[in-house]
Amino acid sequence: MLDEVRIRWLLRSPGRRATLTEIVKERVITTSELVKRTKLKRQTIIQYLREFEEVGLIELRKEQKPWIAVISNDIIEHPMIMSILSTERVPTIRKKLVFTHSWDDFPECLIEKRKIMSISFIWGSKELVEANIRDALLVPEIVRELLLFSLEKGLKPDNLIVRSLLDIQALRERNVLLDNLLVIGSGLVNKLTVELQRIYDLPIGFKPIGGRDLYSSITKTAYLSGDEIGKDSGVLALLPNPWQKGKVVILVAGVHASGTQAGLMAILSHLRAKRGFKTSPITDHPIANIPIRVVRAKRSTRSWDYGRIEGFEFLE
């Protein structure tokens, strides 16, 4: 039971209100991000978080650095707290995430009426941050494998439809979103990645949704940009398309470009495995049994002198 009297006393402070508002917005957020957003000193943020934890507003994960604040589910719809913060409730566009396919269904799920395979590659624009050119590596190989796969399935060459667009065009011309999509890059470079996370509460996603730190609610693990393991990691997910029933969205987004490239390499390996080669297919999450994974570029083979990683592995 929440101590409403003490919570009211704590939230008289503008600094505490601002801090809790940011936590409520993101649900999971690092202390570094809170310092950046609120402009408060780190020591002050730590003090506030400890107070919030004492009264049950948050759970504080201290086993990783920076610390991570996770909002308590009890306060999301608590009328007193919401009225004090004057924060918006969860947007009405948010949809419940119900997975419609497993990774074993890919790429067969791209084929419509056994005749046409269609997919649109969505890259990040330069309006937010210039997308790394390394995000485009491996895409030609993926398209080649899709073509060969479709031919082996009896499709005509002209019935493989591949488009390549920027995120701003996809969001401006909404008919683009009605296709199967392969969205490349985190919310730092790709606005569609942000939009997807506004709609779906991903079990593995970026916190904040426009940032680069990755958090798994399945294993309660953060993959941080400054961490030796986290910096080369990324999320790889096969999602239902929220804009068009029956279509899918493949999300490939890294903490850095190496994580994005690891996800693309995993897709390439999967497509070749589907064609009978001795490469590794993508499987569903080993704990949650859903088609979302954390992938990582192998440190032992990563060399940016050449601009391309040479191997990948799954962390979960």
- Looking at the structure, tell me whether residues 137 and 282 fall in a common domain: yes
For 73, 149, 241, the CA distances from 249, given in Å and listed in that order, are 28, 19, 5
Is it the case that residue 315 has pLDDT exceeding 90? yes
- Looking at the structure, tell me whether residues 81 and 147 fall in a common domain: no
- Looking at the structure, tell me whether residues 76 and 155 fall in a common domain: no
Of the two residues 215 and 310, the one the predictor is more confident about is: 215
**Residue 21 CA, distance from chain mean position:** 22
**Residue 197 CA, distance from chain mean position:** 7
Q: Tell me the mean pLDDT in the region 68-95.
A: 70
The two three-digit tokens of residue 107, written as one number:
């790429």
For 26, 144, 161, 261, the CA distances from 266, given in Å and listed in that order, are 29, 15, 22, 9
Strand 181-184 to strand 160-166: parallel, antiparallel, or no bridges (unpaired)? unpaired
Strand 292-297 to strand 233-240: parallel, antiparallel, or no bridges (unpaired)? antiparallel
- Looking at the structure, tell me whether residues 113 and 219 fall in a common domain: yes
pTM: 0.76
- Looking at the structure, tell me whether residues 69 and 160 fall in a common domain: no
What is the model's pLDDT at position 88?
42
Q: Which domain holds residue 136?
A: 103-314
For 107, 122, 159, 234, the CA distances from 185, given in Å and listed in that order, are 20, 9, 27, 9
Q: Tell me the mean pLDDT in the region 251-277.
A: 95
**Per-residue pLDDT tens digits for 7-17:** 888 888 889 98
Q: CA triplet 91, 96, 102: central angle to 5 degrees?
A: 140
The two three-digit tokens of residue 122, written as one number:
């969505």
- Looking at the structure, tell me whether residues 137 and 195 fall in a common domain: yes
Residue whose token pair is 């995993």: 266
